Structures are given as C-alpha cells and as structure tokens.
Amino acid sequence: MFIDQVSISVKAGDGGDGCCSFRREKYIPMGGPDGGDGGKGGDVILEADPNLTTLIDLKYKKLYQAENGKPGKGNQMTGKSGKNLIVRLPPGTLVKNEETGELLVDLKEPHQHFIVAKGGHYGQGNARFKSATNRAPKKFGKGKPGDSLQLFLELKLLADVGIIGFPNAGKSTLISRISNARPKIAGYPFTTLVPNLGIVKLGEEESFVAADIPGLIEGAHKGKGLGHQFLRHIERTRLLLHLIDFSDTEPENILDRYHKLQMELKAFNEDLYQKPQILVATKMDDSQSVKNLEKIRSSMNELNPILFEISSVTGEGIEKMLWKIKECLAAEKLKDLEKED
C-alpha cells in the first residue's frame, strides 16, 4: 500500500531527577552531600532513509517515544541518559507541526537528520548545591519534561520529471522501458493506482528520476477518476512529460484531451501548469497514430513546439527524447541556480 499522509505523536524522553543523598561513613558523622545528577532525556530524531518510498510504516503506530533519563544516585553517580529514538522517513517528507501548521523540516537529502523533539534537561544532584554556607543541602533539581508534539507528515516524492497523461496513454509502459521501475501495465484505464519512481540512466554517467503517476481525466479536480491526489508528487519536478495516445480513431479527441489535461493541471495549481512540458505522441507503431499525427501535427506544434514521437513497443524515438529531457533539465537547473543568486 502507498501512504503519503499521516499524523503521529512524538515524545522526547524526560530528564532524570537529581539525587539527594549523603555520604554515610562510620567515623564521619557529617558525611557530605553526594547525590548525582540525573540523565538527559533522549531526543526524537527524524532521518531520511532512501530505501523508503511511502509512509506506510507509520500508519499503524501512532506514538513515537524516546527513552527517559534515569535519576541520579548517591556516591555522585550520574543517571544514565535516555536513548534517542530515530524515526525513518522517505526522502521528500514534509514535516509539519499539526497544531500550528508550521513547516518544521523538509527532509530532502538522503540521510538528512532533524531533531524534532528535544529530550528534557536533567536535574542536578544535591552535591551541586553544596556551598560555604550550606554544607548539607537537601536541595536537588527535578528533571524537565521532554518535548511532546503532534506531527503531520506529507510525502511529496522527489523526481526530476513527471510523466502525465490520460489513462492508457502508455505512461507505465514508457517508464518500465526507460528505467528500473516495473509498474503494472494493462489495456484498461486506471491500471496505475499509486505513483512509481524510476531511475533513468543515460550514457555512462547521466541519470535522472522520473515519476509515473495515475492517469488524469476531465473533472479530476472534482475527484473524478483517481482525482488530483497524486499531482502533489510531481509538484517538485522540473519538467513534465505529457504523453498523448495517438492511436485514437478521432484526431479531434486527441486535441480535446490535450486541453482537458491542461485545465486539470491549472485547477490543481498554477505552478504545476506553468512547468515546462514536453509533448510525447505515443503508440507511433500503430498506423492510425501515424495518420492522426499527419492531420494534427501543425495544431500540436502551435500548442507546443517540442513534440516527440515514440513507440514503447519498438523503442523508436525514445533515445532522442531522453537526451532532450536531459538537456531541458540542465537548463532548468541553471535557471534555479540563477534565481538563488
């Protein structure tokens, strides 16, 4: 199962209390104070684990608690610190304080750490309170409670390229041909029910990550089909690959679907709609596709001059398209860097 939103509670460990104790020795009636400090409470630490791609593991366990610090002991013995608790999350998880809505961290980098709840301070033992005027203090510090909060976790997958299109456009077939992803493929709509990530290797060293998401239909923003729920997973991509099935019997349907998809992107959010798109005419091994393209090529080119023709069956046109994607990604990365400066 793919889970991309979940609420959990985290509770850091409480600090251990300081100890109040006096040294008792046979011939020393006024043995000095010797109560040790308590131990610090453990932290709750979030870690981005690149082996994870969903929040499913967090769905059933709701409370994540680090260990409390142990109290101090006599003979100046410090209590043991509580162990930290590490909660592993898929990279791309946005962590929010559920009460305030504040974004605490965006775990973007693999193995990135974030202390989300700090363990409580320890209390001092009475040995610490000894002074010239008070040689036998009974005073000791109490440990402080650890942070406790409710988190809302939202996964937004990290991919360079988002593959979009109507159901049956051939999105999953393409990603399984060009990457290590192996989603289900079938000739009926809504075969893909959850997003799939794949690493596309190009040449010796070049690579990028593509995301195949479930098909969109008209009215997705009103919840039709699988709705808009998976679009958030392509919000962070730099480029959209818009796949269009050209094997339809009516070329008008092809143009119509193109516009409907743009409307749906816009209804989800303007940023997604504004992302650069590469159009891809799929199933070009089919003779009907070739006929259709002849008829509407100029209209398509007016809508978007970058149009590739591919067949995931024969492999035709794919390599050329991948290099273009690489080139566009490099240009987009450059733009982002310039914006940061």
Ligand X SMILES: Nc1nc2c(ncn2[C@@H]2O[C@H](COP(=O)(O)OP(=O)(O)OP(=O)(O)O)[C@@H](O)[C@H]2O)c(=O)[nH]1
The whole-angstrom separation of Cα 241 and Cα 278 is 5
Residue 84 interacting partner from ligand X, Mg ion, none (CB closer than 5 to 8 Å by kind): none
Tokens at 247, concatenated: 């094997």
Among 158, 169, 272, 300, binds ligand X (CB under 6 A): 169
Residue 173 interacting partner from Mg ion, ligand X, none (CB closer than 5 to 8 Å by kind): ligand X
* Shortest CB 158 distance to ligand X, Å: 21
Count of Cβ atoms closer than 10 Å to residue 338 Cβ: 8
- As a whole number of angstroms, the longest Cα–Cα distance in the chain is 108
In the β-sheet with 63-65, what is the strand arrangement from edge to edge?
Answer: 63-65, 5-11, 148-155, 93-97, 103-107
Is residue 195 a contact partner of residue 158, using CB atoms and an 8 Å limit?
no
179 part of the interface to ligand X, by CB under 6 A: no
Residue count, binding to ligand X (CB under 6 A): 24
Among 124, 277, 282, 292, binds ligand X (CB under 6 A): 282
Q: Which of 169, 196, 199 is nearest to 184 (CA)?
A: 196
Q: How far is CA 28 from the centre of its chain?
A: 63
Interface segment toward ligand X; rule CB under 6 A; list 189-197, 203-211, 254-262, 319-327:
189-197
* Shortest CB 177 distance to ligand X, Å: 8
Tokens at 325, concatenated: 């994607």
Among 172, 237, 277, 292, binds ligand X (CB under 6 A): 172
For ligand X, the closer CB: 122 or 230: 230
Is residue 171 a contact partner of residue 282, using CB atoms and an 8 Å limit?
no
For Mg ion, the closer CB: 16 or 214: 214
Q: Which residues bind ligand X (CB under 6 A)?
A: 165, 167-173, 185-187, 189-192, 214-215, 282-283, 285-286, 311-313
